[in-house]
């Protein structure tokens, strides 16, 4: 804990942390020491971790990257936070992220990182002029810069896999419903999933085992599947593993350096006994319009709770209740969040619901069916995490579409609720890390971590 607290102080300029409390962390570490001395064998006893600032925590403030929640402190811990603490973890702080997890570059955070007096872009430790990916940018940077051994993140449309890929670390989004969403500030409830980011698949397996499990009283979408030991298959042979290669994932539009790194990784898999099988996911391109209808629709509903009445920011000067709502939301939300609330409200409104939202739901089902078709011919599906390496801070300017398009390879698994892991696969353009994405069928996390581990 002391080692990592020192690293965190030394590398504040990366902008990864939004809240630290060294004394609170030390107190937790001392308790872990006492438990260890008393013979504790808890899986993560004394292991320092940090949480994406989208998980509510009692001991640290929670902002979700938004001015709306500046100064907010939750009266309870998110289930994932509680479970990791019960496994012995010591919390080192809260990590920067895009506002309400909306973004692909961590450039949408309105929260002020530790050591700064205004909001800052989070910096990729491989090149501090580049973005770390998002929305779990702080979570990926903290691991990649060795500020903490492992972190939590959330993935709605790629927010664990993509920053892990851009920062050269490992991250896994489990099957939708594996981890409880209780205490995760909601973005798009039918897509949001928690998962770990760490240096290795082995570390991810340890964390994921502690994070998952049913939570029927608090999250009605948490699955009735007992907690599993996701480490159990780590060293299994890959002999005969069928790796599906969707032609849509290996088409034009992927940067040559990214493609070369993926090809090299796939060759390694062949050497380990795996077979590459051509497959098709024909509706890949539709994942972008479908996701950017469904996610904003759910967000517009979820974010209606931020009205200045119950918690968070409230405008100072207003004339009546409606004026208070309007001013509070105008001041509290950033541009990207407002854009999504407007898109979401539009696609859910009378006269447009059938044309947009309902259509999107139908295509979402077809995308899920395409995966089931593909899994008849393969055990896991390989692809890029993103079409390029991490871009420069500010490079996409104020063009939100440029960010949306870069999500093309992570959105399909999210829409289908499938697990996906990002595995470091060498380096591409500008010497930046490349992530290989492996997608598994429902509940195949142990197999995914096995495949990721064998490459490391
Ligand atoms: N980049 C996607 C978005 O902006 C995904 C974000 C996420 O997974 N939280 O919605």
**Structural domains in the chain (count):** 1
State the residue for tokens 């420069």.
392
Q: What pLDDT sits at residue 212?
A: 98
Report residue 311's pLDDT band, with 50, 70 and 90 as the boundaries.
Answer: confident
> What phi and psi values does residue 282 have, to the nearest 5 degrees?
-65, -20
- Assess contact for 420 and 172: CB atoms under 8 A: yes
Identify the band that residue 397 occupies on the pLDDT scale cut at 50, 70 and 90: confident
pLDDT at 24: 95
From CA 274, how far away is CA 110, in angstroms rounded?
A: 45
Of 189, 131, 188, residue with least CA distance to 402: 131
For residue range 334-366, what is the model confidence (pLDDT) as tens digits?
999 999 999 999 999 999 999 999 999 999 999
Report CA(31)–ligand 1 centroid distance (Å).
37
298 Cβ closer than 6 Å to some ligand 1 atom: no
pLDDT of 398 strictly over 90: no
The residue among 150, 174, 408 whose CA lies nearest residue 290 is 408
135 among known catalytic residues: yes
Q: What's the DSSP call for residue 92? A: E
Per the annotation, the verdict on 159 as an active-site residue is yes
Q: List alpha helices for 223-286, DSSP H.
A: 256-271
Report if residue 188 sits inside a domain.
Answer: yes
pLDDT tens, position by position, 94-152: 999 999 999 999 999 999 999 999 999 999 999 999 999 999 999 999 999 999 999 99
Separation between Cα atoms, residue 204 and residue 359, nearest integer Å: 36
- Is ipTM strictly over 0.90? yes
Q: Does any domain span residue 147?
A: yes
Q: What is the CATH number of the domain that holds 50?
A: 3.90.1300.10
Query: 425: pLDDT confidence band, cut at 50, 70 and 90?
Result: very high
The pLDDT tens digits of the residues spanning 156-198 come to 999 999 999 999 999 999 999 999 999 999 999 999 999 999 9
Report the separation in Å between the CA atom of 164 and the middle of ligand 1, taken as the mean of its atom positions: 14
Round to whole Å and give the CA distance between 171 and 162: 9
Tens-digit pLDDT profile for residues 41-82: 999 999 999 999 999 999 999 999 999 999 899 999 999 999
CB distance 374 to 246 below 8 Å:
yes
Ligand 1 center–CA 329 separation, angstroms: 21
d(CA 344, CA 414): 18
Report the separation in Å between the CA atom of 135 and the middle of ligand 1, taken as the mean of its atom positions: 6
Check if the beta carbon of residue 92 is closer than 8 Å to that of residue 49: yes
pLDDT at position 8 is: 98
Residue 256 located in a structural domain: no
* Pocket mutation for ligand 1, best pick of 106, 159, 412, 420 (most atoms within 8 Å of C-beta): 159
**pLDDT recorded at residue 227:** 85
Q: Is residue 207 part of a domain?
A: yes
Q: Which atom of ligand 1 has the smallest separation from the CA of 403?
A: 1
Residue with tokens 């009605």: 220
CA 404 to ligand 1 center in whole angstroms: 8
Yes or no: say if 352 and 346 are a contact pair by the CB < 8 Å rule: yes
Residue 138 covered by a domain: yes
Q: Which atom, in ligand 1's list, is nearest to the CA of 291? A: 10
Question: Is the CB of residue 155 below 6 angstroms from any atom belonging to ligand 1?
Answer: yes
Residue at 326 is within a domain: no
- The whole-number pLDDT of residue 148 equals 98
Residue 37, preceding peptide bond in cis (omega within 30° of 0): no
For 225, half-sphere exposure in the C-beta direction (CA atoms, 13 angstrom radius) is 20
Q: Is residue 148 part of a domain?
A: yes
C-beta of 334 in contact with ligand 1 (< 6 A): no
- How do 242-246 and 380-384 pair as beta strands? parallel
Q: Is the CB of 407 under 6 A from ligand 1?
A: yes
Q: In this model, does residue 296 exceed pLDDT 90?
A: yes
- The parent domain of residue 142 ranges over 2-211
Contact between 244 and 209 under an 8 Å Cβ cutoff? The reply is no
Q: Does the pLDDT of residue 252 top 90, yes or no?
A: no
Ligand 1 pocket: which of 99, 100, 103 to mutate (most atoms within 8 A of CB)? 103
Question: How buried is 294 (Cβ within 10 angstroms: 0-12 exposed, 13-18 middle, 19+ buried)?
Answer: buried
Please classify residue 435 by burial: count the beta carbons closer than 10 Å to its beta carbon, then call 0-12 exposed, 13-18 middle and 19+ buried: buried
Atom of ligand 1 nearest to the CA of 103: 4
The arithmetic mean of pLDDT across residues 259-263, rounded, is: 98
Q: Is 407 exposed, middle or buried (0-12, 13-18, 19+ CB in 10 A)?
A: buried
By most ligand atoms within 8 Å of CB, the mutation choice from 98, 135, 288, 341 for ligand 1 is 135
Q: What spacing in Å lies between the alpha carbon of 156 and ligand 1's midpoint? A: 6
Q: Which residue has the tokens 């909306």?
A: 102
Q: Is residue 168 a part of any domain in this protein? A: yes
């Amino acid at each position: 804990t002391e080692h990592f607290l020192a690293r965190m102080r030394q590398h504040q300029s990366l902008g990864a942390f939004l809240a630290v409390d060294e004394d609170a962390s030390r107190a937790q570490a001392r308790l872990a020491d006492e438990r260890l001395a008393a013979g504790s064998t808890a899986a993560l006893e004394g292991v320092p971790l940090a949480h994406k600032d989208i998980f509510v925590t009692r001991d640290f403030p929670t902002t979700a990257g938004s001015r709306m929640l500046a100064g907010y402190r939750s009266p309870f811990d998110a289930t994932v936070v509680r479970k990791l603490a019960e496994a012995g973890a010591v919390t080192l702080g809260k990590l920067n992220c895009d506002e309400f997890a909306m973004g692909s570059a961590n450039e949408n955070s309105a929260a002020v990182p530790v050591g700064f007096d205004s909001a800052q872009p989070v910096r990729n430790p491989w090149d501090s002029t580049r973005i770390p990916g998002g929305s779990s940018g702080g979570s990926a940077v903290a691991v990649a810069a060795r500020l903490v051994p492992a972190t939590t993140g959330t993935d709605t449309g790629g927010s664990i896999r993509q920053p892990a890929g851009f920062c050269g670390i490992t991250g896994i989004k489990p099957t939708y419903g594996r981890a409880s969403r209780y205490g995760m500030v909601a973005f798009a409830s039918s897509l949001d999933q928690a998962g770990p980011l760490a240096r290795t698949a082995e570390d991810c397996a340890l964390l994921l085992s502690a994070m998952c499990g049913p939570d029927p009283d608090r999250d009605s979408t948490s699955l009735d599947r007992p907690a599993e030991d996701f480490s159990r298959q780590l060293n299994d042979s890959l002999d005969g593993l069928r790796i599906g290669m969707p032609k849509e994932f290996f088409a034009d539009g992927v940067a040559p350096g990214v493609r070369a790194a993926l090809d090299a990784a796939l060759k390694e898999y062949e050497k380990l006994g795996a077979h590459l099988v051509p497959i098709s996911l024909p509706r890949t391109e539709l994942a972008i319009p479908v996701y950017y209808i469904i996610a904003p629709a759910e967000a517009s509903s979820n974010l209606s709770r931020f009205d200045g009445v119950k918690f968070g920011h409230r405008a100072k000067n207003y004339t009546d209740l409606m004026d208070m709502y309007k001013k509070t939301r105008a001041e509290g939300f950033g541009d990207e969040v407002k854009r999504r609330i407007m898109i979401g409200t539009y696609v859910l409104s009378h006269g447009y619901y059938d044309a947009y939202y309902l259509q999107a739901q139908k295509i979402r089902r077809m995308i899920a069916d395409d995966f089931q078709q593909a899994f008849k011919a393969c055990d896991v599906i390989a692809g890029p995490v993103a079409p390029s390496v991490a871009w420069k801070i500010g490079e996409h300017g104020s063009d939100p579409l440029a960010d949306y398009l870069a999500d093309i390879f992570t959105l399909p698994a999210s829409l289908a609720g499938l697990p996906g892991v990002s595995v470091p696969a060498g380096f591409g353009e500008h010497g930046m890390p490349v992530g290989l994405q492996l997608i598994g069928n429902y509940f195949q996390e142990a197999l995914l971590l096995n495949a990721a581990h064998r490459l490391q």
